[in-house]
Structure 1
């Protein structure tokens, strides 16, 4: 069985999230998804996610292409997650291109192109600007 692992915040879930997870699953038999904890999201992005980590995990786990979900507590633990889940392939968005190449000793590392014109950050900014426009 070929295991694929990927990571993300998956906040304000959108079509880009679905596409990257479906593409990741197409590389193997079993897709494992690390969902960033609320604390990790705040450390990475300087803001809390819109949806709680439990809600984000519930959304991701409900997808047919996802076989297992866990909370990613730290970026520094990615190697341990890869080893613990015995992943054969690490998939990340190309906004991380090159940043995880050192894991090629543990598994294959693949970067997928992000879906154009779809960004959680942009969606949040549009909602915020509309909310304050009135």
Structure 2
């Protein structure tokens, strides 16, 4: 499959998840003319990768994409996040990132996040390697996992979720997903540490 066709399928997949109209987004993201986009879509329909509605992908089309799912709080984006998300994107074609809700963030970090969940979602969505950022579900991460249906779930070096927990949860929703543990080149870098050091520097002024 040509890269442009892979790109079109990836954009269609993301638009399906978000419930957005696909054609204007295709024009904006591919920078192709309407005629060229329509020609590629015709080829994808011919190969049974896109449905006749010209805006949704078939099961065969979905299986041709490798979707990677990563999650976290992402309260303060730091170099460790960037490295981890780049590594996650390298594992597949589409990177979907889930930001924790404010309530979940408090449970995970034992503190209120500096930014509300919608702000954190907007920030992560602005990162070039991220194809889609969603806000997670309260109390059940597998609701979002089932919605996205990734082939790979990427865990950061500092995430508490155990691989066995993720694997068993995927089996319960009948999803065959691999778990990848990612390493950070800056393991000492964390949002909590940055916030703590920043607070100390402010008080020291």
Give TM-score scaled by structure 1 length: 0.89
- Deviation by residue 1:71-94 (Cα, 9 ceiling, x = unmatched): 1133x4222322221100000113
Q: In structure 2, do the counterparts of structure 1 residues 98 and 125 end up closer, same or farther at CA, with 3 Å as the change threshold?
A: closer
Q: In structure 2, do the counterparts of structure 1 residues 44 and 102 end up closer, same or farther at CA, with 3 Å as the change threshold?
A: closer
Q: Which residue of 1 aligns with 2:152?
A: 89
The structure that is helix-richer by fraction is 2
Higher RCO by CA contacts (8 Å cutoff, separation 6 or greater)? 1
Alignment of 1:64-75 (within 5 A): 64-74=128-138
Higher alpha-carbon Rg: 2
Deviation at 1:98, TM superposition (A): 6.6
1:130 maps onto 2:201 in alignment: yes
- Which of structure 1's runs of 4+ aligned residues deviate more than 6 A? none
Preserved contact between residue 101 and residue 109 of structure 1 (Cα < 8 Å): no
Q: Which residue of 1 aligns with 2:41?
A: none
1:72 and 1:123 map into 2 onto residues whose CA distance is 24
The structure that is strand-richer by fraction is 1
- Structure 2 residue aligned with 1:59, among 123, 136, 139? 123
Query: Helix, strand or coil: the match of 2:158?
Result: helix
Q: Which residue of 1 aligns with 2:77?
A: 13
Instruction: For structure 1, list consecutive stretches of 5 or more residues without a partner in the other structure.
Output: none
Deviation at 1:119, TM superposition (A): 1.2
Query: Helix, strand or coil: the match of 2:140?
Result: helix
- Deviation by residue 1:101-125 (Cα, 9 ceiling, x = unmatched): 2433431001112333311111111
- Structure 1 residue aligned with 2:178, among 103, 108, 130? 108
- Deviation by residue 1:20-64 (Cα, 9 ceiling, x = unmatched): 111101000011110011111112222111122111111110112
Q: In structure 2, do the counterparts of structure 1 residues 98 and 34 end up closer, same or farther at CA, with 3 Å as the change threshold?
A: closer
Alignment of 1:17-36 (within 5 A): 17-36=81-100
Preserved contact between residue 61 and residue 69 of structure 1 (Cα < 8 Å): yes
Deviation at 1:97, TM superposition (A): 6.5
Query: Helix, strand or coil: the match of 1:95?
Result: coil
Deviates more, 1:18-27 or 1:110-119: 110-119
Two-structure CA RMSD over aligned residues (Å): 1.7
